[in-house]
């Protein structure tokens, strides 16, 4: 699975993934392997970035695909793109781990700011797994926020940072950080419009 494969036939890839995920929902194990082959690199990227080290990220990734197996019957292609549905499960799984006792223990032993390759603030013109228009609108609206607010929201999304971690990082009181982000999120919502 690589980026070029997606960009050369994004719609076709999406349709294939939707079909495979739907088959998983019917209990088709071969289809789960297909979903894994199509998405493991993407979902592992998510787990690795948020967990911060390979062994834990691999454990989390395993539980993510078990959840996919168990929940695929609930996937509704009319409501979400398959890759968004999968990425959300992976990100939530990694954040659950990071908030757990074992996650916090492991994280405490990691060097600060472990270097992983997602830029702090650089929207990529990427592989259109997600509808391009929605992406443009979100990036435009994020761009209207104050720089520090946008960077903190991005850090929360990509690093799985908590309010407390962001406040420490920016060296501001917790209340200030909450206020920045809450106001930023509500402005973001206004900009995106309801729906």
Partner 1 sequence: MDDHLTPTEERDALAAELALGLLEGQTRADALRLSLSDPAFAAQVAAWEAKLAPLHDEWADAQPGAAVWSGIERQLADAPTDKVTAIEMRLRRWRAGALLSGAVAAALAFVLITQPVPTPTPAAPQLAVARIESDAAGPLVLARYNQSNGLMQLRIHGFEPGTLAPELWVIPEGGTPVSLGQIGHAGEAEMTMPPPHRLLMTEGATLAITMEPVSKTPHPAPSSVAVASGKIITI
State yes or no: residue 175 binds partner 1 (CB under 8 A).
yes
Among 76, 143, 164, 168, binds partner 1 (CB under 8 A): 164
Among 13, 20, 38, 181, binds partner 1 (CB under 8 A): 181
State yes or no: residue 120 binds partner 1 (CB under 8 A).
no
State yes or no: residue 88 binds partner 1 (CB under 8 A).
yes
Q: Segment 8-27, which members bind partner 1 (CB under 8 A)?
A: 25, 27
State yes or no: residue 116 binds partner 1 (CB under 8 A).
yes
DSSP single-letter state for residue 74: G
SS3 string, 115-152, reads: CCCCCCCCCCCCCCCCCHHHHHHHHHHHHCCCHHHHHH
State yes or no: residue 192 binds partner 1 (CB under 8 A).
yes
**CA 102 to chain CA centroid, nearest Å:** 21
The C-alpha atoms of residue 25 and residue 68 are separated, in whole angstroms, by 9
State yes or no: residue 176 binds partner 1 (CB under 8 A).
yes
Query: What number of CA atoms fall less than 13 Å from residue 33's CA on the CB side?
Result: 3
Helix (H, G, I), strand (E, B) or coil at 58: helix
Closest contact distance (angstroms) between CB of 19 and partner 1 is 18
**Residue 132, both tokens:** 């391009």
Check: CB of residue 22 under 8 Å from CB of residue 35.
no
Binding segment toward partner 1, per CB under 8 A, in 13-21, 105-113, 134-142, 143-151: 134-142
Q: Segment 34-73, which members bind partner 1 (CB under 8 A)?
A: 36, 40-42, 44-46, 48-49, 54, 57-58, 61-62, 65-67, 69-73
Residue with Cβ nearer partner 1 (10 or 19): 10
State yes or no: residue 105 binds partner 1 (CB under 8 A).
no
State yes or no: residue 87 binds partner 1 (CB under 8 A).
yes
Among 5, 8, 168, 179, binds partner 1 (CB under 8 A): 179
The C-alpha atoms of residue 72 and residue 86 are separated, in whole angstroms, by 9
CB atoms within 10 A of CB 154: 18
């Amino acid at each position: 699975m690589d980026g070029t494969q997606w960009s050369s036939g994004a719609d076709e890839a999406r349709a294939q993934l939707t079909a495979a995920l739907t088959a998983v929902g019917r209990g088709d194990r071969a289809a789960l392997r297909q979903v894994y082959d199509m998405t493991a690199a993407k979902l592992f990227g998510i787990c690795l970035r948020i967990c911060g080290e390979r062994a834990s990220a691999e454990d989390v990734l395993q539980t993510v695909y078990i959840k996919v197996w168990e929940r695929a019957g609930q996937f509704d292609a009319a409501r979400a793109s398959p890759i968004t549905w999968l990425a959300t499960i992976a990100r939530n799984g990694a954040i659950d781990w990071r908030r757990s006792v074992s996650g916090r223990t492991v994280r405490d032993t990691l060097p600060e700011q472990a270097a992983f390759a997602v830029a702090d603030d650089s929207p990529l013109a990427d592989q259109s797994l997600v509808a391009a228009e929605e992406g443009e609108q979100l990036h435009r609206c994020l761009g209207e926020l104050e720089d520090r607010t946008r960077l903190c929201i991005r850090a929360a999304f990509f690093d799985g940072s908590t309010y407390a971690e962001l406040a420490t990082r920016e060296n501001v009181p917790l209340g200030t950080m909450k206020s920045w982000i809450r106001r930023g999120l509500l402005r973001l919502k206004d900009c995106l419009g309801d729906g």
